[in-house]
Structure 1
Amino acid sequence: MTATEMIHSTPRSAGGAMPKLLIDGLSKRYGNVTALEPTQLAVEKGEFLTLLGPSGSGKTTLLQLICGLVERSSGRLFIDGVDQSDTPVHQRDIGLVFQHYALFPHLTVAENVAFPLKMRGCAPGEISRRVKDALEMVHLGHLGDRFPRMLSGGQQQRVALARCFVYQPSIILMDEPLGALDKKLRDHMQIEIKRLHRETGTTIIYVTHDQEEALAMSDRICLMNHARIEQIGAPHEIYTRPRTAFAADFIGISNIFRGEFVHDAGRPRLATPHGIFNLPEDVSATGKGGALVVRPEHLRIGAASPNRITGAVSEIVYAGSETRVIADLGGGTQAILRLWPGDPVPQIGETITAGWDANSAAFVP
């Protein structure tokens, strides 16, 4: 399929609009090292897409290819249906927000935010108005005369966001912008970025290795591994129906039971070292077998279910909003359970049996 054919065959949004960004076979190689396999990706206008994955998975390389900071090895890139593959980085109408705020220390907050407008030759009156609006948008209108050194880390990050939003770029790319903040401030800034995205309708592509951040902020998650896309979908889909063992293990906490198919009265089940388990109803038993993915919140101590495991409690972890129980199943395998409010807390060393509903699990080949 040609790039043009791909554009016209890409699913449209509800209004029938062209994808905001279309990546057609983009790849990057450094000698014999592949930083990004040929990649296909369409991003809708106004979407918040997160590139998620471990270090070396290709997410930052893909981000750099989108904005033009590195030269592609193959493939094309389209913005609003226009080929921008060879367009210089400063002409792609793309905004960048980095982990380190990159504010000019000798300029005030207002002057930092005004900088991209001055570089674009905007009139002084328009600059003043747009800087005021941008600072109000990030709740910093009263700090325009201060210098960056006089601000907290969270305030500096909001200045960086205002400086990016002020010139209204077509797409905003964020490369781990909250990585330098403490957890409480990071959680607050996640809400701020979601609010800005909702209020402006800007298309945002966000890079992180933090799975909780990706689940909390995204319209869709593009999970990457070994320089390619592993799975792409809505956060709920990625979490509840991972398509590969890597996706199941990387997103959230998982109990993974591997085994081979056996047939019991014509019904396929999965035989594992820890029991023979019923499969979700939507699973087609093809091949030799695979793995069941059971999330900790679906395992209940004492549940009357055909799918049960037995083990000795080795650790109890109190995490404030939840309590986790770690049980040793033997053979070097552990299971993690989440207790629900009101559940009795077992003792370390106690033998417990826990079960789950077959349809609450996911199956991966």
Structure 2
Amino acid sequence: MLAKPDQASQPKLLVDGLAKNYGNAVALKPTHLAVEPGEFLTLLGPSGSGKTTLLQMISGLVTPNQGRLFIDGRDETQTPVHKRDIGLVFQHYALFPHLTVAENIGFPLKMRGLSRADTARQVADALSMVQLDHLASRFPRELSGGQQQRVALARCFVYKPAIILMDEPLGALDKKLREHMQFEIKDLHRKTGATIIYVTHDQEEALAMSDRICLMNHARVEQIGPPHEIYARPQTAFAADFIGISNIFRGRIERGANGAVHLATRNRRLLIDGKNLSNDVEMALVVRPEHLELGGESENAIKGQVAEIVYAGSETRLLVDAETDERVTVRLLPGKPLPKLGENITLSWKPEAAVLVTP
């Protein structure tokens, strides 16, 4: 269990064993998490993984069955949602249709009793921050989806809450606008230094925006770390499969008399970098598509037939039906020679380019 931190080193948010059950259904197992001041942390995972339940308990919308929650060192476990210094941004913008853009942004300041002059000044600053000065007098129905989301962001940032929670705020936008808004949110984060906890099921969004990713699965934390660490060094087959594209070979560890270590799959023995592994342990070997090479005669060379060729602009992906009974994905950059559909090819990789994970 995480202890309450001292003032010198305390995180902005400390989740200490929070858990939630609905009858016999487990929505979140006991969870421990620390978020540093100014950090952008993403809760990532499939539906039912517990990410939204955790976010709702942080906000105060859901009461935990056990555990404690600290904000700036204060125990806020039982604090009502309206008394927590937390801002919320939702997928559906929740703007007041009868208020102008400026009035929507100024609403939380009005509720906090700020003077008219202070409210006008802070609203002007927020409008400038999201580049909507020229739309201050318009109503939400007169705005595009992206503009409405920027108003929702400004309304949240304007009163400078201790923590900002975002629950899939870009889910209602099309792909191009969603990518643009990712940069808008990152820019706001840099400008304000706000502490943001962001929920999404989109792994590309999480990789692009986060300081750290908290990957969740089956109502618990699967792995937490910087995006590059989770991508390059996943700890489990689920993490490897959910973040990016992975080729996963499952088998058992075999240690040879000569000191070589292999992963024995159903019909192949793959050389691995596993000096400290015990014999006959079930493991999975992860090879990212960019680490596979066409050709090669190494011990890890496998044969297969090209089943699909997918052109993706900046790269071409080959889907190969391999002799190991897996469908393997290969990433080729522009300028690389392409095999033909149905052609028999050989793939290889360096042992140090692969990662061993729990299956």
Per the TM superposition, whether the score is higher than 0.5 is: yes
**Matches of 1:61 and 1:287, distance apart in 2:** 39
| TM-score after normalising by structure 2 | 0.96
Counterpart check, 1:357 vs 2:354: no
Going from structure 1 to structure 2, the CA distance change for 1:202 and 1:345 (only over 3 Å counts) comes to same
1:327 and 2:320 equivalent? yes
What's the offset of the Cα at 1:307? 1.5
Q: Secondary structure at the match of 1:69?
A: coil
Q: Evaluate the alpha carbon distance shift between residue 56 and residue 193 of structure 1 in structure 2; reply closer, same or farther with a 3 A threshold.
A: same
Q: Judging changes above 3 Å, is the alpha-carbon distance between structure 1 residues 141 and 17 closer, same or farther for their aligned structure 2 residues?
A: farther
Q: 2:116 aligns with which of 111, 121, 124?
A: 124
Q: Return the alpha-carbon distance in structure 1 between the equivalents of residues 211 and 17 of structure 2.
A: 23
Task: Pick one of 140, 147, 151 that aligns with 1:148.
Answer: 140
Deviations 1:48-78 (A, max 9, x none): 0000000000000000000100111000000
1:94 corresponds to which residue?
Answer: 86
Mapping for residues 14-93 of structure 1, pairs under 5 Å = 17-93=9-85
Structure 2 distance, partners of 1:93, 1:309, is 56
Q: Which moved more, 1:159-168 or 1:262-271?
A: 262-271
Q: Which runs of 4+ in 1 moved over 6 A?
A: none
Displacement of 1:289 after TM fit? 3.0
Q: Which residue of 1 aligns with 2:305?
A: 312
What is the alpha-carbon distance in structure 1 between the residues aligned to residue 323 and residue 261 of structure 2?
25
What does residue 199 of structure 1 align with? Answer: 191
**Are residues 1:273 and 2:270 paired?**
no
Contact 1:274 1:329 in 2 (8 A): no
Looking at structure 2, the residues matched to 317 and 112 of structure 1 have their Cα atoms a distance apart, in angstroms, of 46
Q: TM-score, normalised by structure 1?
A: 0.95
The residue type equivalent to 1:36 in the other structure is L
Mapped to 2, the partners of 1:18 and 1:119 lie a distance apart of 30
Distance 1:271 1:132 in 2: 64
Q: 1:255, 1:336 within 8 Å by CA — same for their partners in 2? A: yes
Q: Which residue of 2 aligns with 1:135?
A: 127
Contact 2:268 2:324 in 1 (8 A): no
Letter in structure 1 aligned against 2:132: L
Residue 100 of structure 2 corresponds to residue 105 of structure 1? no
Unaligned 5+ segments in structure 1 are: none
Distance of aligned partners of 1:286 and 1:108 in 2 relative to their CA distance in 1, 3 Å threshold? farther
Which of 241, 247, 252 pairs up with 1:260? 252
* Residue identity in the other structure for 1:259: G
1:324 touches 1:337 (CA, 8 Å); kept in 2?
Answer: yes
Amino acid at match of 1:284: L
- 1:278–1:60 CA distance, 2 compared to 1 (3 A): same
Contact 2:212/2:227, CA 8 A, preserved across alignment = yes
Distance in structure 1 (CA, Å) of the matches to 2:90 and 2:279: 45
Q: Which runs of 5+ in 2 are unaligned?
A: none
Tell me the distance in 2 between the aligned counterparts of 1:345 and 1:245. Answer: 29
1:300 aligns with 2:293: yes
Which segment drifts farther, 131-140 or 297-306?
297-306
Shift of 1:256: 0.2
One-letter amino acid of the counterpart of residue 297, structure 1: E
CA shift for structure 1 position 3:
3.5
SS at match of 1:293: strand
Question: In the alignment, is the contact (CA less than 8 A) between 1:138 and 1:158 conserved in 2?
Answer: yes
* 1:152-301 correspondence runs (5 A): 152-264=144-256, 265-273=258-266, 275-280=268-273, 284-285=277-278, 288-301=281-294
1:241-273 C-alpha deviation (Å, 9 max, x unpaired):
111111111111110001111223122111223
Does 262-271 or 34-43 show the bigger shift? 262-271
User: 1:274: Cα distance to partner?
Assistant: 5.0
Partner Cα separation in structure 1 for residue 2 and residue 262 of structure 2: 43
Percent identical among aligned pairs is 67
The residue type paired with residue 174 of structure 1 is M
Deviation at 1:183, TM superposition (A): 0.5
Instruction: Name the CA distance, whole Å, in 1 between partners of 2:158 and 2:335.
Output: 50
